[in-house]
A and B are shown apart, each in its own frame.
Chain A
Amino acid sequence: DSGVTQTPKHLITATGQRVTLRCSPRSGDLSVYWYQQSLDQGLQFLIQYYNGEERAKGNILERFSAQQFPDLHSELNLSSLELGDSALYFCASSVAGTRGNEQFFGPGTRLTVL
Chain B
Amino acid sequence: GENVEQHPSTLSVQEGDSAVIKCTYSDSASNYFPWYKQELGKGPQLIIDIRSNVGEKKDQRIAVTLNKTAKHFSLHITETQPEDSAVYFCAASGPDRGSTLGRLYFGRGTQLTVWP
- Interface on A for B, CB 8 Å cutoff? 2, 4, 6, 31, 33, 42-45, 48, 50, 55-58, 90, 94, 96-108
Cβ of B46 < 8 Å from any Cβ of A?
yes
A101 to B104, CA, bound (A): 10
Please pick, from A31, A55, A58, A103, the residue contacting B34 in the complex, using a CB distance under 8 A: A103
Nearest chain-B residue to A97 (Cβ)?
B102
A96 to B28, CA, bound (A): 23
A72 to B37, CA, bound (A): 26
| Besides A90-B44, A97-B101, 18 new A-B residue pairs in contact (Cβ under 8 A), listed by A number | A2-B43, A33-B102, A44-B106, A45-B103, A48-B101, A50-B101, A96-B102, A97-B102, A98-B101, A99-B93, A99-B94, A100-B31, A100-B32, A101-B102, A103-B46, A106-B43, A107-B43, A108-B43
Residues of B in contact, count (CB < 8 Å) = 26
Contact B89 A43 (CB under 8 A): yes
Contact A56 B43 (CB under 8 A): no
Q: Which residues of A contact B51 (CB under 8 A)?
A: 100
- Interface on B for A, CB 8 Å cutoff? 31-32, 34, 36, 42-46, 49, 51, 89, 93-94, 96, 99-109
Nearest chain-B residue to A110 (Cβ)?
B41
Contact A57 B45 (CB under 8 A): no
- Nearest chain A CB to B25 CB, angstrom units: 14
Contact B109 A55 (CB under 8 A): no
A2 to B42, CA, bound (A): 11
- Nearest chain A CB to B103 CB, angstrom units: 4
Q: Which residues of B contact A94 (CB under 8 A)?
A: 102
A94 to B102, CA, bound (A): 9
